[in-house]
Structure 1
Amino acid sequence: MSSAPDRTAPELILIAERVHTFSSTTVEDPASVNAIAIRDGRILEVGNDTHLRELADEHTAIDKMPGATVTPGLTDGHTHIVFGLELTRGVQLADLSLHEVRDQLAAAARQVESGTWLFGWGVDPNIFTETGFDGRIFDDVTNDRPIFLRMRDAHSAIVNTAAITAVGLTGNETFPDESAVVVDETGAPTGYLLELVAMDLVYNQAPTESMQERVERLGEVLNGMAQAGLTGTHVMDFHPGSQEVLERYEAQAELPLRLRFSPMVPPGSSQEQLDEIAAQQGLHGRRWRVEGVKFMIDGTIDNGSAWLTEPDCYGESLHSIWTDPQAYRDALRFFAEKGISTATHAIGDQGVSFVLDAIEALGDIASRASHRIEHIETIPDQTVARFAQLGVAASMQPIHGTRHTRADRSDNWSQRLGEVRAARGWRSADLRRSGAVLALGSDWPVTPYDPRVMMAESIIRRPVAQPGLDPVQPEQGLTALEAFEGYTNHAAKAIGATDEGQIVAGAQANFTVFTADPLHLSAEELAEVRVLATFVQGQRSATAVAVTN
């Protein structure tokens, strides 16, 4: 007759070739660490397999992975998971020329009935260099079928005449922030929608997907992320409908990733809105929770809505999207006083400086929660040191630089900024080596989510699949260790978490298992190294969830 399980014995011992703990407190010789003991979703002990086997009883499972390397579970520091389903609706148009986009839209239009809406995403703003941002240039291939195309930065969209007519856009629309329905010299809408509120005005009048379609697409995205090695992500919104989609999913299957949602605080939010967002804190399911808030102080450089100290080459990017920047300071203080962590999207040099000033002005109140700035696309030398000095984490996506800019400065982003400010782009190495916390992420769906590719490109500063391209500011390349820390212990530090991002006793049992040691591979090899398994809360993460009605 079998004895009862020992409540102190591990439920599982994971044995590999090596374990990278990413902790400075590991007592043993790191080279001898190759096993992890797990119970109740937490790490009991880390060390040599010979020693850890002594902790086992007859009920302990032993999972051997010869030749494998275990790291803390990779966490993407910036994504839009449920909102991303909306952002990736329709035809993928990333990296296509204007001619190719027109062909794709013409083909899609031929397949649907008159009046049917067409959606697309990932449009490169550089295709409008000669025409200007004008959706009416697609009228001849879409006819009476309304289109809604999201630009790759997700901060602007293009619609055609059929959509303008269907929604009733006049060009006289006003918004509580710097959003706009752009008009031509006659005052007629061009079909260019600038920033989220203007985009929502149109999108919310278009046909929606069913709940089941959204749940199924969520499963596809999350399982793809798990297969690529992710065990969690910081989701920079809590988009309307997120709770319903997550609860529907968890009623049928286990989420393969841990999801931390930070609701967006709209520019110019009323006190009632702030109170509602504060009340959402602590909402949770089994593997998702609402924690922290997300601000946006500016837009993007590509569409002229970033906040720069000096104007871009078109005289744009001189304002915050908070029409009253003082209202941002007040809202930041509101959440900080409650101990609610904040993240602020700030891309332009003036936007980043303004946010740092606002956090510094909080004084001792700032220490009640963690604070971070997202994106940080161009900053001068004097701003770099302020992150470490103020204890503000930098959350960056170097892949935006490698995918959306070119070393010869021929791209729209670089042209708008000019040589001096473009040379200050995505200063990940400078920030990290100044002593700042540096979390890395993808901003999916703005760029692909595969962390192996993301880390590889943060090292070599060019698209890993295009070896013929010159690197963009190669001096800002990270080491392999720095890149991995950006997805592990620095991702945890960015949210003030002490039980994530490292493999130590008491931490959450979240791991990514590789078939080779990723810290000793070339960037090209890292991008393709196979993920053997991921573990979330001590359990092998699902990679083929079947979601049904």
Structure 2
Amino acid sequence: MHPVSGAERTMGVDLSGCRDLDAVRTALATAVRELRPGAWLRGWGLDPNAFGTAPVGNAALGPVLDGIPALIDLFDAHSAPASERALELAGIDGPRRFEQGSEIVCDAVGRPTGLLLEDAACELVEAVAPRPTEAEVRARTAEDALPLPLPLRIAPWCRPETDDEAVAELIRIQGTGGALWRVAGVKLFMDGTIDNGTVNADRVAGEEDRASRLAVGHRADLTVLSEDPLTVPDTDPAEPPVLLTVVGGPIT
């Protein structure tokens, strides 16, 4: 659960019900008509499968966001397409190197497509976009506004770029909390998501040069399914039968 960041990320237009690009464009166009001049558009909950065969990025959204600063969280909350205007305001005009496994996705000639992967990339745009006030966030996460059915243990993030001062603050807040929640522990932020390809367990294990991809010189770890899970009808079992598994070369 992410009660605080979730409260911030769900203050825009809800795109979770959009199943294709037409529905996404219609929802965005409706939201744009209600915007004040110069205001930002925020969206959330967008399933990348709504893009179909089109690359996830701002080009597929069409002219509906022309001139509009917009940032749209995908449903995994680890990635977000940003409009051309949002990229411009953030000074993003090409790829950058990050300490964590983030990426500004670019085309073959180095132009940003709008898709931002993981927090460090997304935060470049979030830094120039208006954020909800502390009072607004508190109103949506306070215990009297969000009744908790069970006690929560909160583990704040400790990311690769966390400095000594921030670590000291993480230590200081341990044990603080409210009636039904308490800070206890930290989340060592080394994960990603399968959907946007930022899972980096191989790097954490020191095996990025020999695992996690099908390439010459890498360990032969793979699974062969009886059907393509991306094309199996929704009425079929979620997991097609496994035909073959290879671990380190030998067939198991």
- TM-score past 0.5 threshold: yes
More helix per residue: 1
3-state SS of 1:120 partner: strand
Q: Is the 8 A contact 1:121 1:151 kept in 2?
A: yes
Q: Aligned residue for 2:115?
A: 192
Q: CA deviation at 1:100?
A: 0.3
Kindly indicate whether the alpha-carbon contact (under 8 Å) linking 2:21 and 2:61 is maintained by their aligned counterparts in 1.
no
For residues 168-215 of structure 1, the C-alpha deviation after alignment (integer angstroms, 9 at most, x for no partner) is 112243321111111111211111101011111211210111233223
Report deviation, 1:276: 3.1
Distance of 2:111 and 2:239 partners within structure 1 = 41
State the 1:85 CA deviation.
0.9
Who is 1:304 aligned against? 197
Given the alignment, which residue of 99, 104, 111 partners 2:34? 111
Change (3 A) 1:147 1:139: farther
Kindly tell me: are residues 269 and 294 of structure 1, through their superposed partners in 2, closer, same or farther at Cα, counting changes over 3 Å?
A: same
In structure 1, distance between residues paired with 2:191 and 2:112: 23
The answer to whether the Cα contact below 8 Å between 2:102 and 2:121 also exists between their aligned partners in 1 is yes
What do you get for the CA RMSD once the two structures are aligned? Answer: 3.0
- What is the SS of the residue equivalent to 1:212? helix
Distance 1:193 1:167, change over 3 A: same
Q: Could you say which residue in structure 2 is the equivalent of 1:147?
A: 70
Moved over 6 A (4+): none
Q: Letter of the aligned partner of 1:88 in structure 2? A: T
The percentage of counterpart residues that share the same residue type is 36
User: How far did residue 136 of structure 1 move?
Assistant: 3.1
- Assess if the C-alpha contact under 8 Å between 1:139 and 1:160 holds in 2: no
Q: Which secondary structure does the structure 2 equivalent of 1:134 belong to?
A: coil
Which residue is equivalent to 1:120?
A: 43
Q: CA deviation at 1:139?
A: 5.0
Residue 283 of structure 1 corresponds to which residue in structure 2?
A: 176
Instruction: Please list, as runs of the form range in 1=range in 2, the aligned pairs for 1:155-304 lying within 5 A after superposition.
Output: 155-218=78-141, 222-223=146-147, 231-232=149-150, 258-304=151-197
For residues 212 and 270 of structure 1, what CA distance do their matches in structure 2 show? 27
- Whole-angstrom CA distance in 1 between matches of 2:43 and 2:174: 33
Matches within 5 A, 1:491-502: none
Counterpart AA for 2:235:
L
Deviation string, structure 1 residues 244-286 (Cα, Å, up to 9, x no partner): xxxxxxxxxxxxxx33210111024444443332222112233
Q: Secondary structure at the match of 1:222?
A: coil
Query: Per-residue deviation at 1:471?
Result: 4.2
Q: Aligned in 2, Cα 1:93/1:221: closer, same or farther, shift over 3 Å?
A: farther
Q: Distance in 2 between matches of 1:85 and 1:274?
A: 24
Which runs of 5 or more residues in structure 2 are unaligned?
Answer: 213-221, 242-252
Determine if contact 1:85/1:218 at 8 Å carries over to the other structure.
yes
- Which residue does the alignment assign to 2:247? none
Amino acid across the alignment from 1:263: P
1:161: how far off? 0.6
Give the distance between the partners of 1:210 and 1:272, measured in 2 at CA. Answer: 24
Matched, 1:81 2:3: yes
What is the TM-score with the length of structure 1 in the denominator? 0.37
Shift of 1:88: 1.5
TM-score, structure 2 as length reference: 0.77
- Take 2:107 and 2:2, find their aligned partners in 1: how far apart are those partners? 32
Task: Tell me which amino acid in the other structure corresponds to 2:186.
Answer: V
Q: Secondary structure at the match of 2:139?
A: helix
Task: Quote the residue 2:229 is aligned against.
Answer: 409
Any residues of structure 2 matched to 1:21-32 within 5 Å, and which? Answer: none
Distance 2:102 2:228 in 1: 32
**Counterpart Cα distance in 2 of 1:158 and 1:221:** 31
Q: Per-residue deviation at 1:91?
A: 1.0
Q: Is residue 114–residue 144 contact of structure 1 (8 Å, CA) maintained in 2?
A: no
Q: Which has the larger radius of gyration?
A: 1
Contact 2:42 2:72 in 1 (8 A): yes
- Opposite residue 10 of structure 2, the aligned amino acid is T
Does the CA contact (< 8 Å) of 2:95 and 2:103 recur in 1?
no
Question: Which moved further from structure 2: 190-199 or 286-295?
Answer: 286-295
Structure 1 counterpart of 2:15, which letter? Answer: L
How many residues matched? 222
